[in-house]
Amino acid sequence: MAVSNLQILDVHGLNLIIQKLKDGTLVVGKAGSVDAAQLSGTIPLDKLPKAALERITIVETEAARLALTSDDVQNGDSIKVTQSGKMYAVVDDTKLGTEAAFTDYVVGTAAKAALADAVPWGGVTGKPTAFPPESHVHTPAECGVEAIPDETIEAIISGTYKS
């Protein structure tokens, strides 16, 4: 007989739990802590969710990328080839050893520039050859700010401004 949540609240349910405790058919436990140093071995990949397994593998050459096996990578994994700097995604792990197993990451120049720490001046294209100074004025509205009245500015400078 199964114990429902409602039965636990009545006397019959309580007696049922006590009986199951006595005859050993109801196991009550508490998760304790485990010293991570005591853990060893590996968990088989088929026991872990695929989403937890997507990872990056770094290889030195394109030949090393093509030599990867299903023991090394699976669908969704990323591969970085150090020598060429290219990145690939594994799209069909049944075709490892061939180009059909991979698709390369294609990043546009704007995305590359956004990822760069700095661009050398020589790498900037379409820049003007001269930068003559031009005197000009913008209104506060053109700059996206409200004009501050002269009296407020004078009060701030003199130290008499009250917010």
What tens digit of pLDDT does each residue of 1-43 get?
555 555 556 777 778 878 887 887 876 666 667 676 677 777 7
47: left (phi over 0), alpha (psi -120 to 50) or beta: alpha
pLDDT in tens, 117-133: 677 788 788 888 888 88
Nearest to 42 by CA among 71, 4, 65: 71
- Predicted model pTM: 0.38
Instruction: Give the domains, in start order, of the chain with CATH numbers.
Output: 52-115 (3.40.1620.70)
pLDDT in tens, 55-91: 889 999 999 999 999 989 988 888 999 998 899 999 9
Distances (CA, A) of 66 to 45, 62, 82: 21, 6, 14
| Sign of the alpha-carbon torsion through 43, 48, 52, 57 | positive
Q: What is the pLDDT of residue 14?
A: 75
144: left (phi over 0), alpha (psi -120 to 50) or beta: left
Q: What is the pLDDT of residue 7?
A: 52
